[in-house]
Structure 1
């Protein structure tokens, strides 16, 4: 990777992770690592353009079939593709089909852009995620292979222990906090050969563990408000993104706002 490279355009595709949940802004919208990264890239290029085609809940087949062709047609300098985890977290999944869709997307995107970025997604510690960990690691092995074959960058968020810290995750235990998204933006920034602002892998400061009753109360609240609805959508084939449009569906000039700052 060329150090201190110049990038004039960026397209992000994927699911809720790239849409920006749960980095919630005061107006009720989500920011997220992709917006943060775009804001930093825009400070280096006056005519910088950005599109974010990601929609929460999307499976890799939808990302490959709907978002990837749009992103390829935009011809951006940087394209990020993060997908497949929603498939791996379903009750039943055909990992062969996941591989096929990922190959389809990467083979389309890699020749269309200057730099294709793939990611090994972060994973929160806990019994729910532990159940699916073998599938996640199979998914990441596929991404490793594709990155090598197509000369794409691979950002290893899964290998950063700090991103497994429960304090990096929102109350739904599925999406990163604002600090988690900030660190992902920094990780991708550095992978693009740009000068680091800080050490995104640095551990959080030690904290006092909550009491057993407090943890059980929080577990019950999480199960009622987040886990059971999530399981219900998986079992019925519904998605939180059904009928939802992309947050930024065209590759247009991008001027960062005050809420896009990394600090």
Structure 2
């Protein structure tokens, strides 16, 4: 196993850890969980998490990437693009071009880079059909970049565990605590950590998503994601306005 000494996570709400804990007690998330796994194998890891909810690909290029590279990490995880996928209007082609630029700069850093595709939301959410073509396009770009730049790839699309409603929070877009545990296990496999395996893709006792369950998920998505998003949009605000990263500097991983 390669020993990593400086790990920086960049991204949006998924990497920040929404729905794995809360803002009062503290968010955890897959990146925190991955950092703990790495530190358990080789104590002394320094870890920063620059992710902020609501951020898009361009935000990473402008805000997070320069800060991350200045820390000279030897490991970077990047999970970004869902806020671009769901943003209405003629912006998606530009977002994919920005993603290509982001991948190129990450490759130039010399760090090991772990990236991820997005799951097939149509398996749990009827409205997922509306953005299905965009999900396919961004996943194609992510896979191509992983092959071109020798990134470690976590391929969530098509993994049976991603169709389990228990993997997802009440808004059916962010991972639940169980989901974040699975995401961390998938990243551990991508990094070939001792004890890792592909078991995360189909955990024991998973529940298949029925038509009724998907309809219920649609209601949860509307109440917990769509309506708050519409209210913020009417006021010209973003979910991440006024927020900074939860771990802006490299520090030792807490026990």
TM-score (norm 1): 0.86
Q: Match for residue 87 of structure 2? A: 90
Shift of 1:243: 0.9
Q: Distance in 1 between matches of 2:98 and 2:23?
A: 36
1:42 and 2:39 matched: yes
**Distance change in 2, residues 1:66/1:200 (3 Å):** same
Q: Does the 8 Å contact 1:75/1:113 carry over to 2?
A: no
The alpha carbon displacement at 1:211 in A equals: 11
Q: How do residues 124-203 of structure 1 correspond to structure 2 at under 5 angstroms?
A: 124=121, 125-197=124-196, 199-203=199-203
Residues 204-254 of structure 1: per-residue CA shift (max 9 Å, x gap): 526598996x98777546533432222444576532111100010011222
* Whole-angstrom CA distance in 1 between matches of 2:141 and 2:36: 30
Deviation at 1:43, TM superposition (A): 1.5
Residues in 1 aligned to 2:248 and 2:117: alpha-carbon distance in whole angstroms: 24
Residue 103 of structure 1 pairs with residue 106 of structure 2 = no
Cα contact 1:71–1:109 (8 A) shared by 2:
no
- Whether the 8 Å contact between 2:163 and 2:209 is mirrored in structure 1 is no
Asked if the contact 1:72/1:108 (under 8 Å) is kept, the reply is no
Q: Post-superposition shift, 1:173? A: 1.2
2:59 match: 62
Matched residues in 1 for 2:79 and 2:211: separation? Answer: 36
Contact persistence 1:72–1:113 (CA under 8 A): no
Structure 1 CA distance, aligned partners of 2:169 and 2:42?
33
SS of the residue corresponding to residue 12 of structure 1 reads strand
Where does structure 1 lack aligned partners over 5 or more consecutive residues? 257-263
Secondary structure of residue in 1 paired with 2:41: coil
Cα offset, 1:66, TM superposition: 0.8
Q: Compute the displacement of 1:37 (Å).
A: 0.3
The equivalent of 1:260 in structure 2 is none
2:78 counterpart residue number: 81
1:31-81 deviation per Cα after TM superposition (whole angstroms, max 9, x unaligned): 010000001111222321000000001011001111011111211111011
Instruction: Answer with 30-39 or 124-133: which moved more.
Output: 124-133
- Give yes or no for the alignment of 1:205 onto 2:201: no
Native 8 Å contact 1:56 1:240 kept in 2:
yes
Please give the alpha-carbon distance, in whole angstroms, between the structure 2 residues aligned to 1:150 and 1:210.
38
TM-superposed deviation, 1:187: 0.7
184-193 vs 159-168, which moves further: 159-168
Give TM-score, length-normalised by structure 2.
Answer: 0.88
RMSD value, Cα: 2.6
Matched, 1:16 2:13: yes
